[in-house]
Amino acid sequence: MGFVNCEVKENIAVVTINRPEALNALNSQVLDDLAAAFDGIDTNVVRAVVLTGAGEKSFVAGADIGEMSTLSKAEGEAFGKKGNDIFRKIEEFPVPVIAAINGFALGGGCEISMSCDIRICSENAMFGQPEVGLGITPGFGGTQRLARLIGAGMAKQLIYTARNIKADEAYRIGLVNAVYPQEELLAAAEKMASQIAANAPIAVRACKKAINDGLQVNIDDALVIEEKLFGSCFETEDQREGMANFLRKKDDPAKVKVVAFKNA
């Protein structure tokens, strides 16, 4: 599919932004292809997604500066909304999405990674919100998600100075969870996706929803969200089988088995 490939390997999907000649910069077509790729994922089968960029140099080097350069105020707003809508689709995607950041993650590249559940990167990765150096604000969620992820003080410093940071600093400030040699990154992301996929899928989805929805409200309302989702797990076969397996193990360790969790 155009600028975005999606490969399903058993119950994980690897979505690759494939425009390496422009360092995977996000133009309108890439954004449309990205939306179509996520819309096309069958979440009855796929239990975790890895999002990465083609090539060894760049994850996503931002929104397409050429395309943006002539936008009017209304067109700028519309382009911002287009990006925000697809990034929100990723953020709210029913199953977890892991960003495997294999190089530049600048502007819209940093922003798309922040709409994913988990970020891991290669040693050559570079992060930043260079927008104020281009005369614009971060427009694909950067002013909002960076502050929520690393705190307002550090986010403001990075955004106001437009300074790029390397992988080790991104790790230190909590923007990424781990740093790998470039050649090990995708395998590490797929391994993490497979670990997620081996767990009860309805419970994993419920955890994602509880964390995301809970972060938007006060702690009392957030705990109610958790209680409801926790309760709903007791209507699933996975809960019955998962707990029965634990009790069998206690009774006789030889009875241990790997539970084949279902979407039920």
Binders in 203-222 for ligand CO8, by CB under 6 A: none
Binding of residue 130 to ligand CO8 (CB under 6 A) = yes
Using a 10 angstrom Cβ sphere, with 0-12 exposed, 13-18 middle and 19 or more buried, the burial of residue 244 is exposed
Select the residue interacting with ligand CO8 from 33, 64, 190, 238 (CB under 6 A). Answer: 64
3-state helix, strand, coil in the chain (%, to 5): 50, 15, 30
Q: Identify the bridge partners of residue 179 per DSSP, sorted by sequence position.
A: 121
Select the residue interacting with ligand CO8 from 51, 90, 105, 108 (CB under 6 A). Answer: 108
Burial 198-231 (b: 16+ CB within 10 A, else e): bbbbbbbbbbbbbeebbeeeeeeebeebbeebee
Report, in Å, the least distance between residue 114 CB and ligand CO8. Answer: 12
Binding of residue 107 to ligand CO8 (CB under 6 A) = yes
Binding of residue 200 to ligand CO8 (CB under 6 A) = no
Residue 50 has φ and ψ, to the nearest 5°, of: -110, 130
SS3 at position 105? strand
Binders in 110-129 for ligand CO8, by CB under 6 A: none
131 is catalytic: yes
**Of the two residues 148 and 255, which places its CB atom closer to ligand CO8 in the complex?**
148
Say if residues 55 and 100 touch (Cβ distance below 8 Å).
no
- Which residue is catalytic, options 21, 56, 92, 111? 111
Report, in Å, the least distance between residue 98 CB and ligand CO8. Answer: 21
Binding site for ligand CO8 (CB under 6 A): 22-23, 25, 61-66, 68, 76, 79-80, 83, 104, 106-108, 130-131, 134, 138-140
Instruction: Give catalytic residue positions.
Output: 111, 131
